Chain A
Amino acid sequence: MERICAALEPQFPCRETVITTLSELIGDCNEGYPPAIYIYGHSGTGKTSLTKAFLQQCEQQQKVCTAQLNAVECYTTKILLENVLDALAQKEQQLGASPLRADNMLEFVEQLRRWHGSSARGFLIAIDNAERLRDMDANVLPVLLRLQQLTSLNLCVLLLSQLPFEKYYNKTGLSEVISLHLPQYNKAEALRILSSDFEQMRHQMLQQQQLTGDGPRLALCEQALTQEFYSNYLNLFLSVFYKACRDVPELRLTARKCFAIYMQPVLDGSVECTDVSRLWRHIAGPLRSALTQIYMRIEKPLGEPNIEDQSVRKLAQSLELPYYGKFLLIAAFLASHNSPKQDKRLFVKQHGKQRKRMQTVNARAKNAEKMSTTLGPKSFSIDRLLAIFYAILEEKVGLTCNLLSQISTLVHLKLLSFVSGEQNIMDGSAKLQCTVGLEFVIYIGKVVGFNVRQYLCDFM
């Protein structure tokens, strides 16, 4: 038990309490295990890796059979059960033995009961993404929670998930389970974890400089890259990022990316490595732009501003729709974001004069913040789409099958989507929705020379 703790604590800094608790519960296979342990915490708190390392240590140091699996992979109960059996049997049986079969829970439990006289003193089963177990057959979760009692083996089931256990109770009740929470790291802990890869970072930078073969820069780099310098950088980094993201893998990834930019002025010789304020001025811009890219995992050089705006424009440019297809998309957007009541005023040429009444003005003032572009698209019928299409198009084209097939192509490209009546498109009861945003449509409007804002009720 102490050996497991000693092996794991350097590997997982700031998790000493959890490792101690876990090893108190399932550290010694000669003692009775609890029937089930539920480990939960946010993503990136080290549930999976900690459990994995723990089980590996247990397997190496003691006579324990372990099984680790992911509930997402098991879309039927049979796969789940056979995966568990296979993983447990790997150490137990010699190679070449036929894989164990278990069609249902009863056979699974009976297979496990056969291992009573075996040399293994304990069995540990870890199931990741355990929230999926609720969607499987109704008996899976209740049986897993009392598998120890059913098999009378020294067995413990570890369930890992991001939800608290309150979300698991079913209508027939569950047996008791030990819950273990992995809290998110605070700022100091995150700093400690991130600074642990200083050696690797330094090694990487030096190697990079060696490859370029620049002597003075290498010397400068060797001199400047100290532990203090790196933790200074991480302090700056976390002051920007910690508000938005506490996911350690994501922070580590971005910190490595930005460190090269941070080092740049030092290597050029323009800034002293002790001058933190000037270094901050250099790095502040790239860090902020990197903050907008977090979780996107795009391999791109940093420093290009307005990445989001760029991407919409780029997407609209890269989407090469035919001319009428573009008008159809605009018509669909107008149909989604204008109410049918306004159609006559917007698209019919001689609609007569609209009397301005106090009532409508008041109503508008009240709903000022409820712009239809922010409320989301409403549904429309294909007839209305075609009517608006013909109204906004200058020339009059024939209603050919090419035109109609473009509607279905837009649906296939997920620019439009069906809301209802997917089965009866032809009888006119099908309802569509436009799924693209305002900017995208405005850009497409610019390409074909059509002012979209002019036809939107919100902007009048």
Chain B
Amino acid sequence: TRLAEGTPRRSIQLSNIVEQRIFKDNEIISTPKRSRSKLTDEAADADYVPKMSSQKTPTRPRRMSTTGTAKQPTATKLKESAPLTPSQKLKKIRAGELSPSLEQRHQLVDERHKSQLQLAREQLHVSVVPKSLPCREKEFDNIYSFLEGKIQDQCGGCMYVSGVPGTGKTATVTGVIRTLQRLVAQDELPAFDFLEINGMRLTEPRQAYVQIYKQLTGKTVSWEHAHTLLEKRFTTAAPRRVTTVLLVDELDILCNRRQDVVYNLLDWPTKSAARLVVVTIANTMDLPERLLMGKVTSRLGLTRLTFQPYTHKQLQEIVTARLAGSEAFKGEAVQLVARKVAAVSGDARRALDICRRATEIADSVESQPGGAAKCVTMLHVQQALAEMIASAKVQAIKNCSRLEQIFLQAVAAEVTRTGVEETTFMGVYTQIETIAAFMGVALPAPGRALHLCSKLGAERLIISEHSRHDLYQKILLNVSADDIHYALRVEGN
């Protein structure tokens, strides 16, 4: 036909294209006009791929080459071609044609010679998420039934998941997604797209649009452009659109004053054409009522799920499941960790970290000759707990210089004398005079005392102002007065 040989004309008709697509004529460049005017339209219409003609049109070789690189495996072509200038590289990165990669290691890590403790340490690492999360079966079922229902029904919806850090929210949700994707691969469920954004990884809430669009097409555009394109995608009906599941982690970071981003993310699922399922994750349970506007809360809906902090039994189960079959840990050691962590926060990460530290301590002890026990005992765990939980303030006060200790005592004495928490340097200095005379220590000059004050302030044992206010600077005690007495009294003995 004429189209295949010459330059594509602007006067091409839609009916023409449809006809060509129906007849599956591979020789024809279909929709040259659309691909020129709106490059991104092809992306919005995901199931449609522009086809290439095998014969090159001599009049426009450059256009062909740019569209060609998008389709061909880029890595092989890059090696052949000349090195890119930085601006070319940047262009390709923006278009998503170069994938970011890291430098490779020169040597392989030897996997074979590993002790039991090393293996246990690897198993206990926070980043090794097990396939099935223990103690979260109920939550798993809840999310699974919600998402499966939405995908089956091909409608949109929202869910809000909350819970304190380290209770397995993200791990459970991604676990559900993985299960669903496996079902899709077995053709037991209609296909769906999975997108994931994290509020903490964005510099600004509006960058959420850019991230979502990038995960859809691989291209990086400005947020305004991304917003209009996403708006178009989710509001206009397309016949063969699949369901999109969007996971929004750290929802509270996306809340700005206008709340336009959160509103849009929660408004798109209400559109019938969108087929968008949004799962939002945040830490606080009452976030929708506390922070979000009425219209946003109303769109968020009432499908909520709260992850309770782990109890000590659950933590014990989690750690034992990680260690599965290994003899590295004593039973009571795991129980001690679980009980200590559950009493404070119920954070699984914390428990795993403490266990790992305990294996390290056990390792270092083991390296001495004689101690052949390849096992983490209560003592190691206790040492790890002391390192990671115990407060360092008493130690810091104990290791202060003599004058610094006098200074801290003087602040505490001044607080007792006046009854007010906030003291001025002048009052503290008079107390230093008294204490120094009492102890028979040479009195430091006020300039020296200011130096002490700034040092203690930098260590955050006290809270002080800039020393330009010298005598009138306000001083707050940042440790409790009991800590000071305890630290200094014990040392005195």
Contact = CB atoms under 8 A, between A and B. Distances in A.
Given A134-B466, A134-B468, A171 B458 contact: yes
A167 B467 contact: yes
Contacts of B466: 134, 169-171
B470 interface: yes
Interface string B277-290: 00000000000000
B465 A171 contact: yes
A166 interface: yes
A164 interface: yes
Contacts of A134: 466, 468
Interface of A: 134, 164-174
A170 B450 CA distance: 11
Contacts, number: 38
A165 B446 CA distance: 12
A167 B457 CA distance: 15
Given A171-B457, A171-B458, 19 more contacts: A165-B447, A166-B446, A166-B447, A166-B450, A166-B467, A166-B470, A167-B468, A168-B467, A169-B450, A169-B451, A169-B454, A169-B467, A170-B467, A171-B454, A172-B458, A173-B454, A173-B458, A173-B459, A174-B454
Contacts of B172: none
Contacts of B465: 171
Which of A167, A168, A169, A174 has the most CB atoms of chain B within a 10 A radius of its CB? A169
A170 B447 CA distance: 14
B464 interface: yes
B interface: dominant SS? helix
Nearest to B459: A173
A308 to B, nearest CB: 34
**Size category of the binding interface on chain B:** 10 to 19
A100 to B, nearest CB: 22
B178 interface: no
Nearest to A176: B451
A169 B446 CA distance: 13
A111 to B, nearest CB: 22
Contact of B451 (A166, A171, A172): A166
16 contacts: A134-B466, A166-B446, A166-B447, A167-B467, A167-B468, A169-B450, A169-B457, A169-B467, A170-B467, A171-B454, A171-B458, A171-B465, A171-B466, A172-B458, A173-B455, A173-B459
A140 to B, nearest CB: 14
A171 B457 CA distance: 6
Nearest to A168: B467
A164 B468 contact: no
Contacts of B453: 169
Contacts of A170: 454, 466-467
A168 B451 CA distance: 10
A377 B447 CA distance: 37
Contacts of A172: 458
Nearest to A135: B468
A172 B455 CA distance: 8
Interface string B451-487: 1011101110000111110100000000000000000
A171 B464 CA distance: 7
A101 B468 CA distance: 32
Contacts of B447: 164-166
Q: When A and B form their complex, which 6 residue pairs have the shortest distance between CB atoms, in order from nearest?
A: A173-B458, A169-B454, A169-B467, A166-B447, A166-B450, A167-B468
